[in-house]
């Protein structure tokens, strides 16, 4: 896919979720590199330019930003100057990044599955491919119930519900505004959630997690009710600069024909403080949020170079 089409699809959420965004963007960078007929420095400058455009398509996505930086650094380290050789390096670095994501997913599926017990009520929010994979892969062996949110304003919860239902899992949906009450003890014994499991877009060095707007309230309600909150996400989502910028999206997503002069703040994401998080399910197993940075430093020393 061309860079501009990929950016369009990412911006309008045809491609959604941190992993899909990173995957598609990196693949389109590799395709762009294949078609580039410039040698040496000019090749690198063009790739940098395309990577910058892809990075700005969604500002709250370190899996994308770190992947682009990885591919750019591999190009810079090479002594090759011919376009065909540079293209092969770019292609290889993208393949390596995608393989790291895949390995993280495989481990998370197995480690995350162990946390779910037969008969559990599991609560999730938005649509995370990582969470979806964990739930689907675990359910056959030990059936449980899933509760999820519709996820306003763009209803990504419907993607989760549809995909889980097609895989045979029972799903009950609530409005976003009902999530905190459902999770609280006041919704009654039968509706007690056993765990919350949600994805992540970005992880700070202290282990705070940025995810779809609404995640903070859900985690707060779970913390108050003593329900464990797990985040399923590759550690490659750690924000290298630790300066995450929360994406503000177009006002019309919230109200297309809104009254004139109405100000709308359409936050795409919010932040769950590390203290509400029981564990991050990732390629290192289930890790306490405060300990993730040291694991990242060891496994991916290039990711946090100056930090």
By C-beta, is 249 or 293 nearer to ligand RUB? 249
Assess 109 for contact with ligand RUB (CB under 6 A): no
Please identify, using beta-carbon distances, which residue of 81 and 162 lies nearer to ligand RUB: 162
Where do runs of H (alpha helix) occur along the chain? 3-11, 18-35, 40-56, 62-77, 83-115, 129-139, 156-166, 179-183, 215-225, 292-299
Binding status of residue 212 toward ligand RUB by CB under 6 A: yes
Read off φ and ψ for residue 117, nearest 5 degrees: -110, 155
CB-nearer residue toward ligand RUB: 43 or 269: 269
The residue (of 20 and 55) whose beta carbon lies closer to ligand RUB is: 20
Residue span binding ligand RUB (CB under 6 A) among the ranges 70-78, 127-135, 188-196, 259-267: 127-135
* Cα gap 307→116, rounded to integer Å: 35
Residue 43 and residue 35 in contact, taking contact as beta carbons nearer than 8 Å: no
17 in contact with ligand RUB (CB under 6 A): yes
23 counts as binding ligand RUB under rule CB under 6 A: no
For residues 307 and 239, what is the distance between their CA atoms, to the nearest angstrom?
11
Q: Which stretch binds ligand RUB (CB under 6 A): 23-31, 86-94, 122-130, 299-307?
A: 122-130
Q: Least separation, in Å, of the C-beta of 159 and ligand RUB?
A: 8
Query: Do 17 and 26 form a contact (C-beta atoms < 8 A)?
Result: no
User: Judged by CB under 6 A, does residue 111 bind ligand RUB?
Assistant: no
Q: Report the nearest approach of ligand RUB to the CB of residue 78 (Å).
A: 29
Cβ 200 to ligand RUB, closest distance in Å? 6
Question: By CB under 6 A, how many residues form the interface with ligand RUB?
Answer: 18
CB nearer to ligand RUB: give 44 or 68.
68
In angstroms, what CA-CA distances link 248 with 60, 79, 251, 258? 10, 41, 9, 17
Distance of CA 290 to the CA centre of its chain: 19
Question: Which residues are CB-neighbours of 238 under 8 A, at least 6 positions away?
Answer: 62, 66, 202, 203, 204, 205, 292, 293, 296, 303, 304
Catalytic site positions? 201
Q: Are 230 and 196 in contact (CB under 8 A)?
A: yes
CB distance 231 to 281 below 8 Å: yes
CB of 211 to ligand RUB, least distance (A): 5
Q: Tell me which residues touch ligand RUB (CB under 6 A).
A: 13, 16-20, 126-130, 156, 199-201, 211-212, 268
């Amino acid at each position: 896919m061309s860079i501009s089409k990929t950016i369009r699809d990412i911006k309008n959420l045809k491609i959604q979720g941190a992993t899909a965004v990173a995957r598609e963007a990196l693949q389109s960078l590799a395709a762009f590199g294949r078609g580039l007929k410039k040698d040496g420095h000019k090749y690198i400058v063009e790739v940098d330019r395309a990577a910058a455009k892809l990075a700005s398509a969604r500002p709250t996505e370190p899996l994308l930003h770190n992947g682009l930086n990885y591919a750019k650094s591999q190009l810079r380290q090479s002594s090759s100057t011919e376009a065909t050789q540079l293209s092969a390096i770019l292609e290889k670095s993208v393949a390596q990044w995608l393989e790291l994501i895949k390995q993280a997913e495989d481990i998370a599926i197995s480690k995350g599955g162990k946390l779910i017990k037969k008969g559990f009520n599991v609560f999730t929010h938005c649509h995370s491919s990582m969470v979806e994979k964990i739930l689907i892969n675990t359910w056959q062996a030990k059936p449980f119930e899933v509760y999820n949110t519709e996820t306003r304003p763009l209803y990504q919860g419907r993607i989760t519900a549809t995909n889980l239902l097609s895989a045979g899992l029972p799903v009950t949906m609530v409005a976003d505004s009902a999530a905190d009450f459902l999770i609280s003890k006041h919704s009654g014994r039968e509706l007690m959630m056993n765990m919350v499991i949600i994805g992540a877009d970005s992880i700070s060095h202290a282990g705070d997690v940025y995810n779809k707007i609404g995640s903070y309230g859900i985690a707060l309600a779970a913390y108050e009710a003593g329900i464990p909150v797990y985040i399923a996400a590759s550690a490659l989502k750690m924000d290298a600069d630790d300066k995450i910028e929360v994406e503000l999206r177009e006002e019309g997503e919230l109200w297309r024909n809104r009254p004139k002069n109405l100000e709308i703040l359409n936050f795409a994401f919010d932040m769950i403080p590390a203290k509400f998080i029981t564990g991050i399910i990732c390629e290192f197993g289930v890790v306490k949020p405060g300990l993730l940075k040291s694991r990242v430093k060891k496994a991916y020393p290039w990711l946090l170079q100056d930090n």
